[in-house]
């Protein structure tokens, strides 16, 4: 009764299609769950992601839950997650993908799940890292440890003058650093992010993570363009 009253005054909508949810639906409506463009990379052993990094970084296995289409349901979801404060989308997607990965040999020996970090300023502004819930749920599903204190995003502290001079370089270069490296040595790491486009951010993260001795790295993302 109380729940119905809450729904009457604050109706819940599907974060993908924005239609009203039924009482038995949470976060994403049943119709969208069937129509979201899943990649199934992990079920079909599709190497699209490791191939994307060919010659740039060594990736053991890689998958993305959805294909990203402009103006599609996935764009709506990720936009809500990043800019509208709909944080619950993140664990929902992590639960979905984690539930699929847990039975697959390629992902069984993963020890640590690490999110692509946000810069501290951005974290304060948004209030959460949009991939944290995703990573935590995947870690829980595949029996791995979630660690967000290993890979950090840092500011380029170059002077104003040098910033101007290297403006183009600054735009493309993202700076990451490693701390507590010992805890990822000899580990299989699953690096998680929201959307893969060129892979530049992930490549920068992998380069830094590879400083840990004998680590190997796989990737799981919410969507791929």
Determine the size of the site formed for Zn ion (CB under 5 A): 5
Smaller CB distance to Zn ion: residue 32 or 206?
32
Which is closer to Zn ion, CB of 79 or CB of 120? 79
16 binds Zn ion (CB under 5 A): yes
Instruction: Give dist(CA 67, CA 52) in Å, integer.
Output: 15
DSSP string covering 97-119 = HHHHHTT-HHHHT--EEEEPPPP
Return the bridge partners of 216, or none. 188
Quick one: which segment of 15-23, 43-51, 84-92, 163-171 binds Zn ion (CB under 5 A)? Answer: 15-23
14 contributes a contact to Zn ion by CB under 5 A: yes
Q: Does residue number 205 form part of the binding site for Zn ion (CB under 5 A)?
A: no
Under 8 Å CB-to-CB from 89, ≥6 apart: which residues? 15, 27, 77, 78, 80, 81
* Beta-bridge partner residues of 189: 112, 217
Q: Of the ranges 7-15, 45-53, 79-87, 161-169, which one interacts with Zn ion (CB under 5 A)?
A: 7-15
Extract the tokens encoding 73: 């349901």
192 interacts with Zn ion by CB under 5 A? no
Where on the chain is the footprint of Zn ion (CB under 5 A)?
14, 16-17, 29, 32
């Amino acid at each position: 009764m109380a729940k119905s009253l809450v729904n009457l005054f604050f109706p819940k909508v599907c974060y993908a299609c924005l239609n009203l949810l039924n009482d038995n639906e949470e976060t994403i409506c049943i119709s969208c769950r069937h129509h979201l463009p899943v990649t199934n990379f992990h079920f079909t052993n599709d190497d699209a992601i490791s191939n994307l990094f060919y010659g740039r970084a060594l990736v053991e296995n890689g998958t993305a839950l959805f294909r990203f289409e402009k103006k599609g349901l996935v764009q709506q979801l990720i936009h809500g997650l990043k800019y509208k404060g709909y944080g619950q989308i993140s664990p929902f997607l992590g639960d979905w993908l984690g539930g699929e990965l847990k039975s697959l040999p390629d992902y069984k020996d993963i020890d640590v799940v690490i999110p692509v970090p946000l810069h501290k300023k951005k974290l304060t502004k948004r209030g959460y890292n949009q991939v944290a819930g995703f990573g935590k749920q995947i870690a829980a599903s595949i029996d791995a440890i979630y660690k967000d204190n290993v890979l950090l995003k840092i500011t380029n502290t170059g002077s104003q003058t040098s910033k101007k001079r290297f403006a183009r370089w600054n735009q493309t270069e993202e700076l990451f650093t490693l701390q507590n490296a010992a805890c990822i040595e000899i580990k299989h790491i699953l690096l998680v992010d929201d959307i893969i486009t060129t892979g530049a951010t992930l490549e920068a993260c992998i380069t830094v993570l590879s400083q840990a001795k004998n680590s190997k790295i796989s990737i799981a993302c919410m969507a791929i363009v």
